[in-house]
Structure 1
Amino acid sequence: MPTPELSVVVTVFNEEENICPLLEAIYSALHHLDYELILVDDGSTDQTVAKVKQHANHRTTLLVFNKNYGQTTALSAGIDNAKGQYIATMDGDLQNDPTDIPMMLEKAKTENWDVVAGRRTNRKDGFVLRKLPSKIANWVIRHSTRVYLSDYGCSLRVYKAHIAQNMGLYGELHRFIPVLVKQEGATMTEVDVKHHPRIHGTSKYGLSRTFKVMADLILMLFFQKYFQRPIHIFGTLGLLAIFTGVLISIYMLVLKIMGEDIWGRPMLMVGFISLLGGIQLITTGIVAEIIVRTYFESQDKKTYSVKETFKSE
């Protein structure tokens, strides 16, 4: 088959009421482009798959997971199967607007950007549960990673294919895609895009994801700053631990010389246990993440299993 100019990757999970209007919106917005549409069903338990098969046209490919793996894995599967020179990603809840894609694609082509990211200027979400946590997360990520993007949570982006297919998406790192592409030396810009309120279904995300974002941020900072020189972080922490231990030991020694009984005092033990325990936990998490990456990449394994591939005729 000839290579399309654009592959549009959409991840869906229990979006049966949104499928028909979603497909109609995409087909209408992109009818003048040379594109393919890849829908990835992330283990839906409703009629999402049936609705796609019913309303899909010849440009559409559906990947059906055998269970729910998460948005990052679904996005990775769609990108792996994309054949276009450029890859656009968007959510399947009708909050992203596919009419923005031609403009973003044109900007990527004419100005030679590796990534064109959407920025939701008039976001149609609740303030307390969605906007406020997003603003806080965006601020923290920007200032900790030094990747100054306004809206990390907007899924609507256009990539050059080789950039998207070399990001290395694992776990729940889709929130940090801008950081991943910057690590690859990609050029990136932002454009204002439309955003619509959710009409059908409910959001699959809430405040509980805040802790996952913070945990992933620690990992991203490690990969961004210390992946090629881990001794810089572990050596520094080790020296701080030794310095702290020496100070506590000297303090205990002074107390002993002054005639005080230091036996049974918890300070020395608590100091060492808490500090070394914290270092051990962080180190274990990072080492485990590296082992997972090595396991999959060295054996060319995928982090997902596709139960069915449906291609509309």
Structure 2
Amino acid sequence: MSKPLLSVVITVYNEEDNIQPLLEATYLALEEIDYEVILIEDGSTDRTVDEVKKYANSRTKLIIFNRNFGQTTALAAGIDMAKGEYIATMDGDLQNDPTDIPVMLQKAIDEEWDVVAGRRANRKDGFVLRKIPSKIANWVIRNTTKVYLKDYGCTLRVYKAGIAQGMGLYGELHRFIPVLAKQQGAKMTEMDVKHHPRIHGESKYGLSRTFKVMSDLILMLFFQKYFQRPIHLFGGIGIISFLIGFLISIYLLVLKIMGEDIWGRPIMILGFILVLGGIQFITTGIIAEIIVRTYFESQDKTTYTIKSVYQGVLNPVIRVQ
């Protein structure tokens, strides 16, 4: 296959009932575009692989992981495999609508955007467990990173290939993809896209991801502000800690000169434990993250393991009229 205009990367995990309608809708939406579809099967335990093999056309490639690695790693694998000038990403649960992709692609081409992000209009998810936490997370991310998008949780986006393939996706950073793109100087916009209620299968998200998002936000802020000058962060913390410690020492010295016993005071011990322990935990986490990135990138390693690759057939069961 020659280099296509568009590569569509779709992550699927236990979506056997969604595969046929997903591929039908995708092929129909893209029939006027030179495209390829890359599905990343993220260690499903149902018949997802069989369904993809049954309905995939000759422009579709299936990447099969040997276990579940998570959405960020699956997206990274698909983006690595993509050959298109532009790359679109979307979920495989039929909540994203493939008919939005040509419109987003045309907007990216005509207006020369590096990233066109989807903004879910009339979102069809639960209000308490999905919408409220998402709104809070979006507000926090938007106001701390200064990347002003309204919907960070929408996977449906179109990128220039160079931007997508240079982001460096690790861990569970898929929600922060706009931040990673912005760090590369990407010119970015947002547009309303359709959103459908989930019909088949179960959502893979829950409230438990809130703490992961907050942890990743701290990491994003570090990379955004201090990655090239970490001494400004750690040096500042060190100076403040030193000055506080110095003042405490002077205070205790004065008390000692006045004849008071200063040894073993709970406030002194607690202060040392909290300050030193907090700094140690935060810096150890950040340093470990840098080491992981260095390990993979310096050796051209990937964070995923592919079990096999399947190329769709020329005449699949699905025939788009």
Indicate the TM-score class for this superposition, using the shorter chain for normalisation. Answer: over 0.9
1:291 pairs with 2:291:
yes
Percent identity, aligned pairs only, is 75
Q: Which residue does the alignment assign to 1:262?
A: 262
Q: How does 1:229-244 map to 2 (within 5 A)?
A: 229-244=229-244
Q: Which residue does the alignment assign to 1:163?
A: 163
Q: Which residue does the alignment assign to 1:76?
A: 76
Q: Which residue does the alignment assign to 1:200?
A: 200
CA-CA distance at 1:273 after TM superposition: 1.9
CA-CA distance at 1:69 after TM superposition: 0.4
CA-CA distance at 1:247 after TM superposition: 2.2
Q: Is the 8 Å Cα contact of residues 249 and 268 (structure 1) preserved in structure 2? A: no
In the alignment, residue 151 of structure 1 is paired with which amino acid?
A: D
Q: Which residue does the alignment assign to 2:184?
A: 184
Distance 1:237 1:147 in 2: 26
Distance 1:210 1:158 in 2: 26
Q: Which residue does the alignment assign to 2:317?
A: none
Q: Which residue does the alignment assign to 1:16?
A: 16
In the alignment, residue 184 of structure 1 is paired with which amino acid?
A: Q
Helix, strand or coil: the match of 2:292? helix
1:43 pairs with 2:43:
yes
1:108 pairs with 2:105:
no
CA-CA distance at 1:128 after TM superposition: 1.1
Q: Is the 8 Å Cα contact of residues 6 and 87 (structure 1) preserved in structure 2? A: yes
Q: Which runs of 5+ in 1 are unaligned?
A: none
CA-CA distance at 1:281 after TM superposition: 0.7
1:57 pairs with 2:57:
yes
Distance 2:209 2:90 in 1: 19
CA-CA distance at 1:309 after TM superposition: 0.3
Q: Which residue does the alignment assign to 1:144?
A: 144
Q: Which runs of 5+ in 2 are unaligned?
A: 314-321
CA-CA distance at 1:259 after TM superposition: 3.0
- Greater shift, 3-12 or 238-247, is seen at 238-247
TM-score by length of 2: 0.96
Q: Is the 8 Å Cα contact of residues 147 and 179 (structure 1) preserved in structure 2? A: yes
In the alignment, residue 61 of structure 1 is paired with which amino acid?
A: K
Distance 2:279 2:207 in 1: 27
CA-CA distance at 1:268 after TM superposition: 1.7
Q: Which residue does the alignment assign to 1:221?
A: 221
The runs of at least 4 aligned residues of structure 1 exceeding 4 Å deviation read none
Helix, strand or coil: the match of 2:109? helix
Taking only aligned residues, the RMSD between alpha carbons, in angstroms, comes to 0.9
Distance 1:264 1:222 in 2: 36
Q: Is the 8 Å Cα contact of residues 42 and 70 (structure 1) preserved in structure 2? A: yes
Distance 1:217 1:263 in 2: 40
Distance 2:183 2:176 in 1: 11
Helix, strand or coil: the match of 1:38? strand
Distance 1:11 1:168 in 2: 17
CA-CA distance at 1:15 after TM superposition: 0.6
CA-CA distance at 1:250 after TM superposition: 2.3
Q: Is the 8 Å Cα contact of residues 118 and 154 (structure 1) preserved in structure 2? A: yes
Helix, strand or coil: the match of 1:39? strand
* Residues 199-256 of structure 1: CA deviation (Å, up to 9, x unaligned): 1111111000000000000000000000000000000100111111122222222332
Q: Which of structures 1 and 2 has the larger relative contact order (alpha carbons within 8 angstroms, sep 6+)?
A: 2
In the alignment, residue 172 of structure 1 is paired with which amino acid?
A: E
1:133 pairs with 2:133:
yes
In the alignment, residue 298 of structure 2 is paired with which amino acid?
A: S
CA-CA distance at 1:272 after TM superposition: 1.5
Equivalent residues, number = 313
Distance 1:150 1:4 in 2: 31
Q: Which residue does the alignment assign to 1:282?
A: 282
Q: Which residue does the alignment assign to 2:30?
A: 30
Q: Is the 8 Å Cα contact of residues 95 and 197 (structure 1) preserved in structure 2? A: yes
Helix, strand or coil: the match of 1:248? helix
* Residues 54-91 of structure 1: CA deviation (Å, up to 9, x unaligned): 11111110000000001000000000000101000000
* Residues 144-166 of structure 1: CA deviation (Å, up to 9, x unaligned): 11111110000000000111010
CA-CA distance at 1:127 after TM superposition: 1.0
In the alignment, residue 125 of structure 1 is paired with which amino acid?
A: D
Distance 2:119 2:256 in 1: 62
CA-CA distance at 1:120 after TM superposition: 0.7
Helix, strand or coil: the match of 1:249? helix
CA-CA distance at 1:261 after TM superposition: 1.9
Distance 2:225 2:264 in 1: 41
